[in-house]
């Protein structure tokens, strides 16, 4: 390249050069120093020999004198095989797969329960499942649909006396709240004060990404149900969660707070289990937990 540059631009032939000195040079594929220094690194997979691991463990145990029962209680691997692959990478699991596994083990499917007297709803799951009919719909329209769904589902069983509606609790100073801040939930949506005549935002998912909006939403739903629940004399509604740690009991006679159900639980999942226990303590014999959450299934299974 250097010789060609000198010949074309510096050597005079008949008082002129073949190319002007400042003519752009053609692009070259010659590697630079930084490029030539790069080397491809081969990824090596570490293979763990289970037999060697077992022999080493026995050798260590000969000096440590550890009980064999305790020795064999640990997995014969460098990392827990239930959580990591042989290469040390964490296994990514889907909680929904757990639900399908449980369904596959069921031999008999129970379509109708015999006279349940208590039903527990996960409030936010129902709110997210409501289909907004029109862009002109207000929060009052949506809350009316929410109340109708709760009442119609409960009365379908014709024997329900206790209706529990549980929301997540949004506390300012909590580990979960710090996680929301790191995810940027507070920056994704501006704070909205929910009221009856306010139109439902078109960016619904963005609205729900803010904890402050969820607090305002649950407070509005609680106030609406206090004033507009069309209950029968034998029916009682319990509402828990949102910004408050207190539970409200709503009957045809009025509204009061239930101190026994006052809790600092943030997740509706665990709060539903508390309400199930309370329902049984005050006379509930057949309890239906209404939730699509896999965590609720796992908790309910462990407490039964």
> How far apart (Å, rounded) are the C-alpha atoms in residues 172 and 103?
38
pLDDT value at residue 122: 94
Q: Which residues share a beta bridge with 238?
A: 164, 249
Cβ atoms of 42 and 36 within 8 Å: the answer is no
Q: Please tell me the predicted confidence (pLDDT) of residue 183.
A: 56
Residue with the larger pLDDT of the pair 38 and 275 = 275
Work out the average pLDDT over 37-52: 62
Q: Given a cut of 80, is residue 86 above it in pLDDT?
A: no
DSSP string, 129-168: HPPP--TT-BHHHHHHHHHHHHHHHHHTSS---EEEEEEE
Kindly list the domain boundaries of the chain, sorted by start residue: 118-303
pLDDT tens for 122-132 read 999 999 888 87
Q: Helix, strand, coil proportions of the chain in percent (round to 5)? A: 45, 10, 45
More confident residue, 77 or 197: 197
Mean pLDDT of all residues in the chain?
81
Burial of 121 (0-12, 13-18, 19+ CB in 10 A): buried
Q: Taking 70 as the threshold, does the pLDDT of residue 111 lie above it? A: no
How confident is the model over 145-165, as a mean pLDDT?
92
pLDDT band, very low/low/confident/very high, at 136 (cuts 50, 70, 90): confident
């Amino acid at each position: 390249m250097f010789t060609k540059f000198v010949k074309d631009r510096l050597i005079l032939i008949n008082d002129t050069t073949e190319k002007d000195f400042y003519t752009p040079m053609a692009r070259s594929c010659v590697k630079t120093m930084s490029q030539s220094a790069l080397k491809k690194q081969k990824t090596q997979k570490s293979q763990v020999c289970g037999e060697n691991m077992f022999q080493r463990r026995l050798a260590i145990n000969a000096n440590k004198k550890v009980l064999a029962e305790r020795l064999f209680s640990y997995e014969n691997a460098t990392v827990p095989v239930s959580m990591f692959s042989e290469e040390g990478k964490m296994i990514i699991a889907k909680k929904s797969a757990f639900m399908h596994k449980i369904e596959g083990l069921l031999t008999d499917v129970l379509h109708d329960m015999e006279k349940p007297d208590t039903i527990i709803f996960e409030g936010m799951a129902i709110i997210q499942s409501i289909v907004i009919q029109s862009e002109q719909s207000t929060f009052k329209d949506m809350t009316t649909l929410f109340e109708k769904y709760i009442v119609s589902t409960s009365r379908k069983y014709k024997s329900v006396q206790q209706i529990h509606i549980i929301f997540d609790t949004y506390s300012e100073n909590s580990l979960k709240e710090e996680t929301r801040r790191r995810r940027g939930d507070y920056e994704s949506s501006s704070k909205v004060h929910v009221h009856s005549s306010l139109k439902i935002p078109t960016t619904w998912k963005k609205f729900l990404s803010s904890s402050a909006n969820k607090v305002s939403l649950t407070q509005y739903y609680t106030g609406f149900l206090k004033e507009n629940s069309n209950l029968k004399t034998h029916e009682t509604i319990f509402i828990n969660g949102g910004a408050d740690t207190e539970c409200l009991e709503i009957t045809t006679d009025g509204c009061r707070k239930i101190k026994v159900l006052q809790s600092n639980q943030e997740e509706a999942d665990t709060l539903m289990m508390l309400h199930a226990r309370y329902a049984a303590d005050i006379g509930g014999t057949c309890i239906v937990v209404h939730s699509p959450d896999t965590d609720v299934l796992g908790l309910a299974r462990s407490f039964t």
